[in-house]
Amino acid sequence: MADSILITGGAVIDGTGAAPRAGEAVLVRGDRVVALGAEALAEAESGGVDERIDASGRTVMPGLIDAHTHLSFGEPTGNDELFNHRTQGYSSMLSAYHARKVLRAGVTGVLDADCLWSIGVELRDAIDTGIVEGPRMRAGGQALMTMLGGTAGRMIADEGTTGYATVVHNRDMMVKEVRRQIKYGVDWIKIMVTGLIPSMKGPEVQVWNLDELRTVCDAAHELNTKVVAHCRNSASTRDAARAGVDLIYHASYMDDEALEAVVESGSALCPTFTLLGNLADYGQKIGSAPELLDVFRAEIEITAAQMAKAHAAGVPFLTGSETGFAVTPVGEWHARELEMFVQYMGMTPMEAIVAATANGAFALRMEGEVGTLETGRLADIIVIDGDPLQDITILQDREKIVEVIKGGRRIDITTPIPERRMRSTDQVRFLASCPLTRGLALTEEQLEKLARV
């Protein structure tokens, strides 16, 4: 690994929201940015450098931070596949395979807030110790659920752990589980505040009360651990904020009362529009139920209007893709959230970039260390062939990502990663999508003929 790298000629977007600086030099020594501009050139001249990168006509900026990923899930097509067709050992190896794809997408940091088994924590440590190549990572353990929680309905067992979920029934169990997860190394505790109840038609409902949420937040905060919550309605967002949740995912259909609670609490928001956007825009191509496509789009539009108010009120926003499902495969959609912030929330491209860089440091619990290109910060840098301030979508184009540097080390983004072939036991195989009735199988003429026999 080169001890020093000098990047010259590029337009620097430093992640702070400041205007880009054309032709700015960036000097990296070890794992840190040590100088910028004329000072970088002078120090390189006097002290020498090992490698030089000519970024003329390109953009130099901090690596992206994806605050909502699921690297241990293995890109399932649905909950049955996720909960019933995954083995621990194979999923661990698959997570390591996927971590390389994340870096190649220009993402140098992720929060993986809930996982199968304890893979998230183990993958984080494997990356930190150099066993696995991947982004900086902060991880949670199993998501905390009541027996009603989550999006899998009755697939979640009434007791114990199912997939990425651990069921807790009372405050003593909540505190015990929080402490257990912290003992084994989590950076975040995740709560599934809303869930789908099969007997109740419609969207997710709140399945935790305010006192229960406070119990988890207090137990985690006493041990210097952050809390993130899955909230897909307004009441859950309101109560999560009031309870002290640090980061709220989705905040779907947030009303003014919930918005006020978020503003007062200082909670950060990570809407995670990308999964909904992929379903709304491309669901037909992957077999999503047609009647749901308009529902997904409506959720984006209604929620985004309130998110724009939150942004105007100074609420911090982070970008998250919910990468790890079949509809959001690893390495493909991490940067789409920036586009959706611009399209649906009215953010400027620069504001979206700040959300995906400087603000993302909060998810990594590394404020002041990553997320911006400033002297003394860790050298997590990408070089883009083009200007994302003119076209924010170029951050999604792998061909436009010409350099990825993590901790001062240039990442190999050209050697092909072996193509994954699906293991037969990992996916659900259906005999039929609906009952084969005689009326469906036979023509009217055949049915009429049979009726005369």
Q: What is the pLDDT of residues 377-428, one digit of tens each?
A: 999 999 999 999 999 999 999 999 999 999 999 999 999 999 988 888 887 7
User: Which pLDDT belongs to residue 32?
Assistant: 98
**In 253-302, at which residue ranges do the beta strands (DSSP E only) sit?**
268-270
Instruction: Return the sign of the alpha-carbon dihedral for residues 95, 101, 107, 108.
Output: positive
Rounded Cα distance, 427 and 110, in Å = 26
**244-250-254 Cα angle (round to 5):** 75
User: Which pLDDT belongs to residue 431?
Assistant: 67
Rounded Cα distance, 4 and 31, in Å = 9
User: Which pLDDT belongs to residue 433?
Assistant: 67
Query: Is 204 within 8 Å of 151 (Cβ atoms)?
Result: yes
Q: 124: how many CB neighbours lie within 10 A of its CB?
A: 25
User: Which pLDDT belongs to residue 442?
Assistant: 80
**35-37-39 Cα angle (round to 5):** 55
Q: 23: how many CB neighbours lie within 10 A of its CB?
A: 12
- Phi, psi dihedrals of residue 28, rounded to the nearest 5°: -115, 130
Residues 6+ apart with CB under 8 A from 57: 9, 10, 385
* Residue 5 tokens, joined: 């790298």
* Residue 184 tokens, joined: 């084994």
Residues 6+ apart with CB under 8 A from 101: 330, 331, 417
Residue 1: pLDDT over 70: no
Rounded Cα distance, 81 and 77, in Å = 7
- Rounded alpha-carbon distances, angstroms, from residue 180 to 91, 112, 118: 22, 18, 12
Q: Is 287 helix (H, G, I), strand (E, B) or coil?
A: coil
Mean pLDDT in residue range 332-341: 98
DSSP 160: S
Percent of the chain predicted with pLDDT > 90: 82
Rounded Cα distance, 130 and 240, in Å = 36
Percent of the chain predicted with pLDDT > 70: 98
Residues 6+ apart with CB under 8 A from 315: 262, 263, 267, 268, 269
- Phi, psi dihedrals of residue 398, rounded to the nearest 5°: -60, -30
Residue 199: pLDDT over 90: no
Task: Provide the whole-model pTM.
Answer: 0.95
Rounded Cα distance, 124 and 427, in Å = 26
User: Distance between alpha carbon 393 and the CA centroid of its chain, in Å?
Assistant: 17
289 pLDDT band, cuts 50/70/90, is confident
Cβ-in-10-Å burial (0-12, 13-18, 19+) of 109 comes to buried
- Mean pLDDT (the chain, rounded): 94
Residue 453: pLDDT over 70: no
Closest alpha carbon to 227 in 266, 255, 258 = 266
User: Which pLDDT belongs to residue 423?
Assistant: 85
- Phi, psi dihedrals of residue 229, rounded to the nearest 5°: -130, 140
Residue 229: pLDDT over 90: yes
DSSP 420: P
Residue 293: pLDDT over 70: yes
Rounded Cα distance, 94 and 85, in Å = 14
* Residue 216 tokens, joined: 């988890």
Given the DSSP bridges, would you call strands 194-195 and 205-206 parallel, antiparallel or unpaired? antiparallel
Mean pLDDT is lowest, of 8-12, 49-53, 447-451, for 447-451
DSSP 20: P
- Quote the crossing angle between the two packed helices 273-282 and 290-312, to the nearest 10°: 140
- Rounded alpha-carbon distances, angstroms, from residue 59 to 28, 52, 244, 327, 353: 16, 15, 38, 29, 12
Rounded Cα distance, 24 and 127, in Å = 31
Rounded Cα distance, 415 and 351, in Å = 33
